[in-house]
Amino acid sequence: MGESIGVRRCAGPFVLWRTVDRRVVYCLLCLKPTETIATHLARVCMKANTPEERQAEMLRAKESTKIWTREGRVWDFNEICRWCPHVASRRALLRELRTRGFLIQNDTADSGTTKADDPSTSAAELPASPMASSSSLLRNCPVKTSPTQHWRLTQAGNG
């Protein structure tokens, strides 16, 4: 499934080679993405540590990626309404989440307003940049989050 076979020229004859579809895993120490977390840890972030310590950190990073894949990409519209009662800000946040490929459950954006829309707050203007709006909303979000969710929320505004 994750492999493709191609041809590469190597000093004369053609050789078959495989391109492996590796999962991108974020290093939880430096917050950089890598396809080879074990090599990254050994060469960059944990070169002075023991192999056992690197193995434990690698498993922690892979588990974080699994949790993100299962839970982090899906947002519930009703929860977003509770977190962000200001209509214009919420619309900017939802637009940014959709742009970044997040999935929104119970999304009523196509129907216009919702019960959570408060007409008294909807007259405010949006900031010039939707990115600035969503990043400030995410940093100031009053929702209790796990450390992984907190990191995801803060990274959503940075990038």
Domain tally for the chain?
Answer: 2
Residue 10 falls inside a structural domain: no
CA–CA dist 54, 145 (Å, integer):
27
Q: Do 145 and 115 lie in a common domain? A: yes
Is 7 domain-assigned?
Answer: no
On the CB side of 64, CA atoms within 13 Å amount to 22
Mean pLDDT (the chain) is 74
**Virtual torsion, Cα 83, 129, 92, 98, nearest 10 deg:** -110
pLDDT above 90: percentage of residues in the chain: 51
- One domain for residues 31 and 60: yes
Q: Give the separation between CA 99 and CA 96, rounded to whole angstroms.
A: 5
Residues 116-149 have pLDDT tens digits of 454 444 434 444 444 444 444 444 444 444 555 5
**How do strand 103-105 and strand 74-76 relate by DSSP bridges?**
parallel
| Residue 102 domain boundaries | 73-156
> Tens digits of per-residue pLDDT, 91-100?
999 999 999 9
**pLDDT value at residue 136:** 43
